Amino acid sequence: EAGVAQSPRYKIIEKRQSVAFWCNPISGHATLYWYQQILGQGPKLLIQFQNNGVVDDSQLPKDRFSAERLKGVDSTLKIQPAKLEDSAVYLCASSPTGSRGETQYFGPGTRLLVL
């Protein structure tokens, strides 16, 4: 079965510009997660979707970050405007139902550099 797909793999932008990342989860997975992983740190959950509804977005900086999963399948994460501290790898993951303890399947990530 195909894994989680993400694009682009790399992105370089200047501060105050906008950027968007795309994620296509494993087919049939109801739950989709976006994580931010800063160099040398573990992934930090930004937002969790269950189908097309938001389960948790408590750590999403809502003044500049937004995410949507309109049809309950693929998802887009946007940053507008970007800051230097947004430089990180943005990981997308999916799981079948989102139940506790369920394995999350991660994509390769999008590496963002903000200059």
Partner 1 sequence: SQKIEQNSEALNIQEGKTATLTCNYTNYSPAYLQWYRQDPGRGPVFLLLIRENEKEKRKERLKVTFDTTLKQSLFHITASQPADSATYLCAQFTGNQFYFGTGTSLTVIP
Q: How far is residue 100's CA from residue 77's CA, in Å, rounded to a whole number?
A: 24
By CB under 8 A, which span of 11-19, 33-41, 65-73, 74-82 interacts with partner 1? 33-41
Q: How many residues bind partner 1 (CB under 8 A)?
A: 23
* Binding flag, residue 41, partner 1 (CB under 8 A): yes
Applying CB under 8 A, which of residues 1, 2, 27, 42 lies at the interface with partner 1?
42
> Nearest distance from residue 100's CB to partner 1, in Å?
5
- Determine the residue type at 85: E
* Binding flag, residue 100, partner 1 (CB under 8 A): yes
For residues 17 and 26, which CB has a smaller minimum distance to partner 1 in the complex?
Answer: 26
- Regarding beta strands 75-79 and 10-13, do their DSSP bridges make them parallel or antiparallel, or are they unpaired? unpaired
Q: How far is residue 9's CA from residue 90's CA, in Å, rounded to a whole number?
A: 10
Alpha-carbon torsion, ordered 103, 48, 109, 13, to 10 deg: -170
* Binding flag, residue 5, partner 1 (CB under 8 A): no
